[in-house]
Structures are given as C-alpha cells and as structure tokens.
Chains A and B, each alone.
Chain A
C-alpha cells in the first residue's frame, strides 16, 4: 500500500524545494539590487515573483490532492500540513522581496542619504535565517529551527534601531525624509522576512515533534529537550 503516497510526497518535497530555491534567489537579487540601486535588477525581481505565485498555487493544489486522495496520517499528515504552511510563508516572502525591489526606484529618485541601518548585516542575517529555516526543513533539524526562532529577536531589535535612527536623521536633515522613509520600509520588510523564516522554523518543529511552538518557544524547546533525552535513555 501507499507507494503512490510515497511518490506524491517525494514530488511535493521536490516542488517545495524548487519554490524555496526560487524565493531565496529572488530575495538575494532584491537585496543586491538595493545595495547597487539597480532598477533593472529590481524589475527582474518583480517579474520573477509571478512565477513564485504560480508555483505556490500549484504546490497548494498538490497538497490538497494528497489530502483528498490519500488521507495521510501521523508523520505523513504533519508533513503535508507543514508543506502547505511553508508554501504560504514562501509566497509571502516572495512578495516581501518584491516590495523591497519596488522601493529602489523611489530611493534612487531622491537625494542620497546615510542608510539608517546596517544593510549588509541585516540582509545577511535575514538570508542566513532563510537558508537555516529551509535546511531545518530538509534535515528535519529542530535545533537549527530553534536557532532561527531565537535570531528573530536580533532582527527585530535592528528594525527598532532603524526606526530610532530614521526619526533622528529626519530631525537633523528633513530633506532626507523621503529616502529615509523608504529605507525604513526596507528595514520593516527585512523584519517581516525574518518573521516568516521564524514561522517556517516553527512549522518544522511541528512536523518533527508535533509541538506547536508559536508564542511559547521556551516551553517547546524544553519539551523537545526532554523528549530527546528520553529517547537517549
């Protein structure tokens, strides 16, 4: 029984990895376009999001097909539900990359200003979170997933710092306000992206341990710890 289900689950996995790769690549290009203020690259990012949206719908349809035809249970059920959720997070992430790309033309049109946050640091942290959350999914690694959730706090604080810097810089040089507001939106997008990575990591924890880690990571982490120490015994 169920060689069909195995095959469909393998195909679903491949489909999700393809989508994840596309989103990761588009996010990288979006941040590169921001660093170099390349509107041509930004346009490519916006166009590529159409393919991401289509892939998201196809993956969702595949999940629904598996649920309807195979009625999976236990680890298979958790896998399909997790893919359904991660698929959604990835699509949002694609939109966020697109939103960052859309800011570039506005930033370029305004007089240059000092970027109110450490763009390099915040983008590489967010990209690292994205890569780690997807690795956690492919390797079913809950420790890596917990690490991603913890990193989210750092990105949150970077975004808060950006807000303070924007307020201060606008007070010092009001003519920079339009650019600064656009950078603040970029910072907010990166913070949103980190939130989505955290959601993926929480989905991985659910898939692996059937524990809902949302809103209570510490409790989930200690449950996982005790579960794993029981397994070792």
Chain B
C-alpha cells in the first residue's frame, strides 16, 4: 500500500515536472506532500502540485473530493474551520503559507477569493470596491477613485455602473454582483485569484461574461478555479487538476486532459461515467 502511495506521489511529481518547461520562478503556488485533515478525516491526501504564474488552473472532481478544501488552503480560509489541520508544505513564492508567523491578513491581500454565491457588502458599489483598499490605509480620494474605476473596468462592470456608483451593490443582478466581487478582489492588487465555482449561481450570459473576464485576467494574475462544469474547465483554463477522494489523480495541460487523459479515472470522470 505504502509503495502504491509512493508511486502515485512520484507520478504527481513527474506530472508537475513534465509540465511545459518551467523553472521554479514560474510557479506561484507549490504544494509538496500537502494534506488537510478535518479532525481525523484526511480530506486532501499528500498533494504535489505547482500552479503556474499567470495561468488559469481548473480544479475539478466530484463533490467531496477535496478540491475546495485545497483551494481554500491557499488563502488560509480553512483556519476558520474547527479541527482543521495540515501537514506537508504549501508555499507561495517560497514562503510557507502555514508558517506560524505568517501574516494571514497580508496573505489574503495577495490571494483574492471569489465565492460561489456573490457576496457584496450591504454598501454602495463604490464602497464595496474601495473596502479592501481603505483597510490597508487612507489613500487620497483621487487615487481611490482611480483604483475603483480601474478595478470596475477590469471586471467589465464600469460601463454598467459608472453612473450609479453610490447606489447599493445589492441592487445589481447576480452576474453583476459576482463581477463586483471580482472588482473588489482586484482592487487590492492580488497576485493570485481563487474562484470557488464562481458561475454556479449565474445564468448562461453572466457565466459567459465571467469566463471572458477570466481569460482577460489570465497572464496578469495566477488564477485557480474550482468548477463542476467540465466544459467551463475546458474553456477557461490552461491547466487542469483532477481530484478524487482527496488525491490529486492527474494534473496537466487542459488540452491534453480533455482529449487524452492518462489516468482512466480522469477519463471516466470527465466523460461522465461517474461523479
């Protein structure tokens, strides 16, 4: 059994190493033998993966496979879950994300998060975007206006809201609210953007807007997206990681995973034979 686990682990390391020629500087997030436990339950098992700088990585797998758990570890969201602990290493730019002296607030500035359901604050559109920036300090008003405008432009929302910045964010449609949340995450200039099923509560048109946005943001931001929508993973991501029962089964270029996955389980999952 141990040998099997070791073999599997070696394969994962090989997967990472076999990804297009990259040096360690090309990886923003690196996991080495990283595991997550909820009490006694091991939700993520000895994961080895490296997320490439400026690329979009989709994390797919059936419910309960550990994909969201893994994603949330990247900005330490799981700290809020009682009984949650980790082993192994999860690094960002060479910094151990679970180091006891790590400033978690600072980490969350560098790693933005967008959730399944849009969660704007009950404030104005402007204040939603400016919120994180104000927490960091009090920039001059003109600078703040500039940040709000740029962030809203980048999330593709500016033209729709520029005349009602002081209106409540709760008056926006679901798709607009989700793009507002993305603008809020972008305003603090993160390096990594985590998205946990960002389109699952949206209609097809709003989904398409978010997907276009992901494409526009890639290159500048490293994006990791958890999705149940296989076609979405195929459309938006450069790399895909398939998790099953807490194990990273396969990781590779999306074009290869969706045409010729190496692992039978991956093939069976993406072709809908289970899950």
Binding site for B on A (CB under 8 A): 1-2, 5, 71-78, 210
**30 pairs of residues in contact across A and B, judged by CB atoms under 8 Å:** A1-B272, A2-B271, A2-B272, A2-B273, A5-B271, A5-B272, A71-B231, A72-B271, A73-B230, A73-B234, A73-B258, A73-B259, A73-B270, A73-B271, A74-B257, A74-B258, A74-B260, A74-B261, A74-B266, A74-B267, A74-B270, A74-B271, A75-B267, A75-B271, A76-B271, A77-B259, A78-B259, A78-B260, A210-B259, A210-B260
CA distance A26 to B231 in the complex (A): 42
- Hey, which chain B residues are within 8 Å of A1, CB to CB? 272, 275
- Beta-carbon nearest neighbor of B271 in chain A: A76
Shortest beta-carbon distance from B165 to chain A in Å = 40
B61 to chain A, nearest CB (A): 14
**Taking each of B231, B257, B270, B271, which has the highest tally of chain A beta carbons within 10 Å of its own beta carbon?**
B271
A151–B240 CA distance with the chains assembled, in angstroms: 40
- Which residues 226-268 of B have a CB within 8 angstroms of A? 230-231, 234, 257-261, 266-267
The smallest C-beta distance from A71 to any residue of chain B, in angstroms, reads: 6
The residue in chain B whose Cβ has the minimal distance to the Cβ of A1 is: B272
A232 smallest CB distance to B (angstroms): 14
A22 to B231, CA, bound (A): 37
Nearest-Cβ distance from residue B259 to partner chain A, whole angstroms: 6
Query: Which residue of chain B has the shortest Cβ distance to A70 in the bound complex?
Result: B272
Q: Nearest 8 pairs between A and B by C-beta?
A: A2-B272, A210-B260, A1-B272, A73-B258, A76-B271, A74-B267, A73-B270, A75-B267
Chain B residue at minimum C-beta to C-beta distance from A81: B259
Closest to A211 in B: B260
Most buried by A among B234, B257, B259: B259
**Number of CB contacts from chain A to chain B under 8 A:** 33
State how many angstroms separate the Cβ of A143 from the closest Cβ of chain B.
Answer: 19
Closest to B256 in A: A210
Q: Which residues of B contact A2 (CB under 8 A)?
A: 271-273
With both beta carbons as reference points, the residue of chain A lying nearest to B275 in the complex is identified as: A1
A2-B257 Cα distance, complex, nearest whole Å: 19
CA distance A2 to B274 in the complex (A): 9
Q: A199 to B221, alpha carbons, bound, how many Å?
A: 45
Q: Please, which residues of chain A bring their CB within 8 A of the CB of B257? A: 74
User: Cα distance A2–B261 when bound, in Å?
Assistant: 19
Q: Once the chains are docked, how many angstroms separate the CA of A75 from the CA of B267?
A: 7
Bound Cα distance from A41 to B230, whole angstroms: 52
Bound Cα distance from A72 to B257, whole angstroms: 13
Q: How far is the CA of A78 from the CA of B275 in the complex (A)?
A: 21
Chain B positions within 8 Å of A5 at CB level: 271-272
Residues in A whose Cβ lies below 8 Å from that of B271:
2, 5, 72-76
Closest chain A CB from B261 CB (angstroms): 5
Determine the distance from Cα of A130 to Cα of B270 in the docked complex, in whole angstroms.
Answer: 33
Question: What residues of A have a CB within 8 angstroms of the CB of B261 in the complex?
Answer: 74
B271 nearest CB across to chain A (Å): 5
A73→B258 CA distance, assembly (Å): 6
| Residues in chain B near residue A71, CB distance under 8 A | 231
Provide the residues of chain A in CB contact with B270, threshold 8 Å: 73-74
Nearest-Cβ distance from residue B227 to partner chain A, whole angstroms: 14
Determine the chain B residues whose CB is within 8 A of the CB of A74 once the complex forms.
257-261, 266-267, 270-271
Complex formed: what's the CA distance from A72 to B275 in Å? 16
Distance, CA A1 to CA B63, complexed state (A): 14
For B257, B260, B261, which residue has the most chain A Cβ atoms within 10 angstroms? Answer: B260
Closest to A209 in B: B260
Q: Which residue of A lies closest to B233 (CB)?
A: A73
How far apart are A56's CB and chain B's nearest CB, in angstroms? Answer: 25
Complex alpha-carbon distance, A77 and B267, angstroms: 11
Alpha-carbon separation in the docked complex, A74 to B270 (Å): 7
Give B146 Cβ to nearest chain A Cβ, in Å. Answer: 42
User: Shortest distance in angstroms between A139's beta carbon and chain B's nearest beta carbon?
Assistant: 18
Interface residues of B in 122-168 (CB under 8 A from A): none
Which A residues are CB-close (under 8 A) to B231?
71
Chain B residues with CB under 8 Å of A78's CB are 259-260
From residue A202, how far is it (CB to closest CB) to chain B in Å?
Answer: 16
Report how far A17 CA is from B271 CA in the complex, Å.
23
Among B261, B266, B272, residue most surrounded by chain A Cβ atoms (within 10 Å): B272
